[in-house]
Structure 1
Amino acid sequence: MSLNNIKTKLREERGFTIVELLIVIVVIGILAAITIVSFNNVTSKANTSNAASNAEAVQKVAESFNADNNRYPGTLADFTATANTVKLPSGVTVLISPTALASSNGKNSIVYKYKGASATTATGGSVNYWDFGTNAVSTTVIYVGDGKAGDTFVQIAS
């Protein structure tokens, strides 16, 4: 084997340069960053959707309670009484204040407030849930009974 053959052989077996490797690493890093941001957005939307679904389930429980008792729930016990024909979905917790909702896990917790002169004469209510996109109590309120925007709602008793 001659010296020229060895030099030609070495030129043919060249690997990647450090610049080429760095470019590949940067491109992979950019793609990973985009994927992570997208995943977090999808996760927060899914959690918010789950929380909204749980709030709608609580609305249905409150409507069912009204059908059975001729009034809307006014205490936490009203949601858990064994005499009720409709129960809260498994894992859903009714909380008494938005502050409690902010410190909870959010997607399985809701805040219910009643409308009326007292807990035993409630004529409606409102249901709030956690919005994971804004990390705050959702601005969307689900109303129960004759509750509507602008009404005064009272925190339920524990």
Structure 2
Amino acid sequence: MKNEHGFTLIEMMIVLVVISILLIVTIPNITKHNSKINDTGCEALTKMVQAEVQSYYMEHNEYPESTTDLEEESYITADQQKCTNGKELIITNGVVSTSGTENP
């Protein structure tokens, strides 16, 4: 019999089992942190829009009534009015905050 080089079926099965175990351990950890990642991104977006509110105030000597005013004046884009977790940004007396409800 010739000495052929290659992997046996057993070796391939062992590699697949190891990769499967790594995926089973890793995927739940990633999904568990997904909401924290979205919340952190929303906080960053809120701070960025707050800076744009201040810029708007410096130019117009009044605060915008809503994020729509900022969009119309090209301070923000339409997709920057809502966080990735679905919460909308609202402006009250020059302070940017998120709405309490999520809109998926």
1:106 to 71, 85, 88: 85
Which residue type is aligned with residue 80 of structure 2?
Answer: V
Question: What root-mean-square deviation, in Å, do the aligned CA atoms of Structure 1 and Structure 2 show?
Answer: 3.5
2-side partners of 1:56 and 1:129: how far apart? Answer: 15
**Deviation (angstroms), 1:55:** 1.1
Q: Which stretches of structure 1, 4 residues or more, deviate above 6 A after TM superposition?
A: none
CA contact (8 A) 2:67 2:81 kept: no
How many percent identity over aligned positions?
Answer: 19
* CA distance 1:75–1:129, change in 2 (3 Å): closer
TM-score, with length taken from structure 1: 0.41
Match of 2:6 in 1: none
TM-score, with length taken from structure 2: 0.58
2-side partners of 1:67 and 1:46: how far apart? Answer: 32
CA contact (8 A) 1:61 1:88 kept: yes
Which residue type is aligned with residue 106 of structure 1?
Answer: N
Deviation readout 1:33-60 (Å, 9 max, x if unpaired):
2211122234443333222221111101
Unaligned runs of 5+ in 1: 1-15, 95-100, 116-123, 131-135, 138-158
Unaligned runs of 5+ in 2: 1-9
Say which structure is richer in helix: 2
Say how many residue pairs are matched: 89
2-side partners of 1:77 and 1:31: how far apart? Answer: 46
Q: Which has the larger radius of gyration?
A: 1
Match of 1:40 in 2: 31
**Deviation (angstroms), 1:77:** 3.5
SS of corresponding position for 1:91: helix
1-side partners of 2:32 and 2:99: how far apart? Answer: 18
Which residue type is aligned with residue 91 of structure 1?
Answer: D
Structure 2 counterparts to residues 63-142 of structure 1, below 5 A: 63-82=54-73, 87-88=75-76, 91-93=79-81, 105-106=84-85, 110-115=88-93, 124-128=94-98
CA contact (8 A) 1:54 1:110 kept: no
Structure 2 counterparts to residues 39-58 of structure 1, below 5 A: 39-58=30-49
SS of corresponding position for 1:59: helix
Which residue type is aligned with residue 64 of structure 1?
Answer: S
